[in-house]
């Protein structure tokens, strides 16, 4: 399929659906591109053991009071916050770090409820754990 046919297909689907869904999908930015545009998208890892799910989110420079967690559904967690600059001087010589608001939605490996989340902030890492919803069968 050539580019013109693809563009036409997108136009037709956008008219039919009355939304720019496909355009947004094709223009979606990945975390590395977002950092280049001065937007921060925290990276995270998911782990599991027999009893717990673990989520580790990088949040360097985020104060605890500027951090917000919302369980959107029982399988999605939204992490958002603000990174404030440490120094605000007139002359900026070089800047690689990103400041401002950020947001990341994490798809959880298993469903949970707010009361089961254990949250800890330590050395620029947000550590979240919650029990697995695994039924255990005991043999007698």
Residue 57, domain extent: 38-86+96-134
Whether 45 is covered by a domain: the verdict is yes
**69 close to 81: Cβ distance less than 8 angstroms:** no
How many Cβ atoms are within 10 Å of 126's Cβ, its own excluded?
A: 21
| Per-residue model confidence as pLDDT tens digits over 1-53 | 577 877 777 777 666 665 555 555 555 554 444 444 556 789 999 999 999 99
CATH number at residue 80: 2.60.40.790
Number of domains in the chain: 2
| Per-residue model confidence as pLDDT tens digits over 69-79 | 999 999 999 99
Triad 81, 82, 83: Cα angle to 5°: 130
Same domain, 57 and 15: no
pTM to 2 decimal places: 0.66
d(CA 106, CA 71): 10
- Return the structure tokens found at 71: 């369980």
Mean pLDDT of the chain, nearest integer: 81
Same domain, 46 and 76: yes
Same domain, 56 and 79: yes
């Amino acid at each position: 399929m050539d580019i013109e046919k693809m563009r036409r297909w997108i136009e037709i689907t956008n008219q039919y659906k009355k939304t720019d869904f496909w355009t947004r999908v094709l223009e979606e930015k990945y975390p590395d591109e977002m950092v280049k545009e001065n937007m921060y998208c925290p990276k995270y890892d998911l782990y599991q053991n027999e009893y717990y799910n673990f989520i580790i989110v990088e949040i360097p420079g985020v104060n605890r009071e500027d951090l917000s967690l919302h369980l959107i559904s029982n399988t999605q967690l939204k992490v958002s916050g603000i990174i404030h600059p440490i120094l605000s001087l007139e002359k900026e010589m070089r800047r690689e770090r990103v400041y401002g608001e950020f947001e990341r939605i994490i798809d959880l490996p298993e469903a949970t409820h707010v009361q089961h989340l254990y949250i800890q902030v330590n050395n620029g890492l947000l550590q979240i754990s919650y029990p697995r919803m695994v039924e255990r069968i005991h043999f007698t």
